[in-house]
């Protein structure tokens, strides 16, 4: 498994749990040292036990040395990052190609090179070309995009809705079926298809989900203006099987390490092929604007200005149960609030050390109550379970102004009103908005 990040480490640990002998490779020495030291470089629920058990069982190994790790490997997965290329939004494939070329120099004859990273259509065939420059015997190439979600990654890997595999030969199909033989136990559907189609499925899937989130976010604005309630609208449409309930939670805009970069990359691919997908172009710009709209909402809720006000942000990660803050709405909303004079105090259960790399000029807190102390407004940016059980009486004693701005609709308005807070949420009529006397 080349690349030992959220996808590589989880996939490697799960494959080893299923009985395969796995070596996870990463070029980041600190990451591998951390793992060799018995610690995890990322937070993912349940992963520590899985890694410890399988290391102990002798099925899971870690190294920085790709050249020796691939020797004897039947299948070599590439799970390195594919971030946005600076400037134009294309996927940056330099890590993928660097890994593929290194693999080509050392892999055994007959090994299969599988992309697990999210890569634009055509990448598999590019990898083949690059390999053929390095060696005469062709390595098999396959595409096996990953669909796990951070926060529930182990379960998603072990019990996927489906597995997508793109291959170009019966032999490659056979090897991939062997690697994934555990799927037959749960009768998991496997879509065996071409390289190009497998690559395209991943982008179609992620851009569809990003569109679904954007759809409900735009409806939430309309609900606020019309007196409808977005939570009930989402429920009402989601109960229709053709629509489905997932990804219909209105919020501050999608973020994370996948949707923002994957929507951008798909748009670029489509433009390159002169077949633009303008719907997704629109989704990207609506989502960018969404984060700015949330800034305005916070300012309005604070009476029109946050100048010299202390605003507490609860939740920095793009979603709960992960420490990942990449492209999280917090990274836009916090600096914008600082620009207009707010003093920001933050707390996140798992994302604090990651967030330190992206956010400056805020006060960092080890618990939610110290973050809330003296606040003129408390903003919920990530719906961590920990926030659901906050002691509202204690909060009320600590804050300067009793105002909760809930950008995830985590709370029931009545529960908050009862405790004497003003409460602003999204996509609900003014009845559920901030206390009318205050606004
Ligand atoms: P990550 O940044 O957490 O991990 C990538 C790792 O690859 C890093 O540790 C990096 O040091 C390592 N790496 C880079 N070049 C290398 C090389 N040449 N040799 C060895 N290691 C190298 O990224 P991630 O979140 O795990 O995502 C990996 C891929 O999977 C991306 O394409 C992403 O879009 C896709 N994906 C991610 C998720 C998710 O939830 N994070 C879900 C599905 C798919």
Looking at domain 195-439, its CATH class is alpha beta
Is domain 6-193 given the CATH code 2.60.40.10 in the classification? Answer: no
Q: Answer for the pair 411, 425: CB distance below 8 angstroms, yes or no.
A: yes
> In angstroms, rounded to a whole number, what is the distance separating the alpha carbons of residues 98 and 81?
11
Residue nearest to atom 15 of ligand 1 (CA): 95
Q: Would residue 258 show up in a list of annotated catalytic residues for this protein? A: yes
Q: HEC profile for 145-159?
A: CCCCCCCCHHHHHHC
6-193 with 195-439: one CATH topology? yes
Ligand 1 touching residue 11 (CB < 6 A): no
Q: Residue 430's pLDDT is what?
A: 54
Ligand 1 touching residue 258 (CB < 6 A): yes
> In angstroms, rounded to a whole number, what is the distance separating the alpha carbons of residues 396 and 338?
24
Ligand 1 touching residue 151 (CB < 6 A): no
Count the helices and strands in the chain (H runs, E runs): 18, 13
Structure tokens, 244: 């489905």
pLDDT values of the chain reduced to their tens digit, one per residue, 439 residues: 999 999 999 999 999 999 999 999 999 999 999 999 999 999 999 999 999 999 999 999 999 999 999 999 999 999 999 999 988 999 999 999 999 999 999 999 999 999 999 999 999 999 999 999 999 887 999 999 999 999 999 999 999 999 999 999 999 999 999 999 999 888 999 999 999 999 999 999 999 999 999 999 999 999 999 999 999 999 999 999 999 999 999 999 999 999 999 999 999 999 999 999 999 999 999 999 999 999 999 999 999 999 999 999 999 999 999 999 999 999 999 999 999 999 999 999 999 999 999 999 999 999 999 999 999 999 999 999 999 999 999 999 999 999 999 999 999 998 998 999 999 999 997 544 445 444 3
DSSP, res 84 = B
Active-site entry in 24, 223, 258, 302: 258
Ligand 1 touching residue 98 (CB < 6 A): yes
Q: Answer for the pair 371, 384: CB distance below 8 angstroms, yes or no.
A: no
Ligand 1 touching residue 326 (CB < 6 A): no
CA-82 nearest atom, ligand 1: 32
> In angstroms, rounded to a whole number, what is the distance separating the alpha carbons of residues 334 and 84?
22
* Ligand 1 midpoint to CA 323 (Å): 15
What is the H or E stretch that residue 168 is in? none
Domain boundaries, the chain: 6-193, 195-439
* Ligand 1 midpoint to CA 187 (Å): 28
* Ligand 1 midpoint to CA 405 (Å): 34
| pTM of this structure | 0.96
Give the model confidence (pLDDT) of 121-155 as tens digits: 999 999 999 999 999 887 999 999 999 999 999 99
Q: Residue 186's pLDDT is what?
A: 86
Reduced to 3 states (helix: H, G, I; strand: E, B; else coil), residue 100 is helix
């Amino acid at each position: 498994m080349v690349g030992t990040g959220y996808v590589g480490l989880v996939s490697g640990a799960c494959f080893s749990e299923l009985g395969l002998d796995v070596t996870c490779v990463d070029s980041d020495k600190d990451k591998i040292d951390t793992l060799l030291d018995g610690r995890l470089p990322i937070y993912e629920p349940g992963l520590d036990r899985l890694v410890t058990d399988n290391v102990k069982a002798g099925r899971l190994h870690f190294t920085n040395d790709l050249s020796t790790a691939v020797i004897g490997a039947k299948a070599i997965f590439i799970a390195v990052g594919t971030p946005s290329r600076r400037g134009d939004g294309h996927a940056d494939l330099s890590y993928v190609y660097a890994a593929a070329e290194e693999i080509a120099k050392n892999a055994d004859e007959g090994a299969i090179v599988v992309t697990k990273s999210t890569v634009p259509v055509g990448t598999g065939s590019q990898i083949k070309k690059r390999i053929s420059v390095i060696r005469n015997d062709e390595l098999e190439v396959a595409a096996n995009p990953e669909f796990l979600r951070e926060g529930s990654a182990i379960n998603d890997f072990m019990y996927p809705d489906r597995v997508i595999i793109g291959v170009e030969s019966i032999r490659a199909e056979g090897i991939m079926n062997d690697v994934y033989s555990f799927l037959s136990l749960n009768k998991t559907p496997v879509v065996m298809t071409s390289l190009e189609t497998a690559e395209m499925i991943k982008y179609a899937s992620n851009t569809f989900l990003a569109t679904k989130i954007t759809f409900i976010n735009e409806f939430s604005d309309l609900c606020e203006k019309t007196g409808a309630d977005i939570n009930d609208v989402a429920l009402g449409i989601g109960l229709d099987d053709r629509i489905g309930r997932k990804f219909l939670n209105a919020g501050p805009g999608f973020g994370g390490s996948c949707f923002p970069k994957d929507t951008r990359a798909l748009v670029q691919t489509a433009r390159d092929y002169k077949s633009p997908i303008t719907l997704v172009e629109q989704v990207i710009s609506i989502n960018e604007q969404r984060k700015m709209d949330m800034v305005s909402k916070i300012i309005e809720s604070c009476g029109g200005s946050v100048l010299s006000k202390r605003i507490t942000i609860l939740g920095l990660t793009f979603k709960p149960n992960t420490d990942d803050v990449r492209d999280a709405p917090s990274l836009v909303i916090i600096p914008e609030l600082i620009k207009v004079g707010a003093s920001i105090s933050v707390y996140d259960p798992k994302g604090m050390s990651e967030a330190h790399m992206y956010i400056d000029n805020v006060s960092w807190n080890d618990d939610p109550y110290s973050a809330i102390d003296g606040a003129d407004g408390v903003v919920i940016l990530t719906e961590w379970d920990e926030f659901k059980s906050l002691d509202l009486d204690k909060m009320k004693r600590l804050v300067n102004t009793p105002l909760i701005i809930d950008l995830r609709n985590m709370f029931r308005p009545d529960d908050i009103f009862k405790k004497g807070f003003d409460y602003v949420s999204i996509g609900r009529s003014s009845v559920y908005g901030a206390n009318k006397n205050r606004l």
